[in-house]
Homo-oligomer: A and B are copies of this chain.
């Protein structure tokens, strides 16, 4: 922490810009993936409603969690974070389903 700003401030800015451009590219990819994911969960929701299948499936959810935790370890990502991430997404899927049922 004893380092001061590099003499060439421009260089610092370029390095940060480089990182940020990569983050922006990754975010764009994730947003597009999420859009595809919600298209599919919407189809799942319609399908389950049509055939009176239960909206939630605890067995499936627990399989997803185990799988994501394993994938995370392989990718050196915190498995607890991935589980939180899946919860976050599933919560949104439930919101989507509720909105869909209300619009029926």
Contacts and interface: CB of A to CB of B under 8 A. Distances in A.
Interface of A: 1, 3-6, 12, 15-16, 19-20, 22-24, 26-41, 43-44, 47, 49-53, 60, 64, 67-68, 71-72, 75-77, 81-82, 85-86, 88, 92
Given A20-B60, A27-B64, A41-B23, A34 B3 contact: no
Given A6-B51, A22-B40, A26-B36, 15 more contacts: A3-B52, A4-B51, A5-B52, A19-B47, A23-B37, A24-B64, A27-B37, A27-B67, A30-B30, A31-B71, A32-B71, A34-B75, A34-B81, A35-B72, A88-B88
Given A12-B51, A40-B23, A34 B64 contact: no
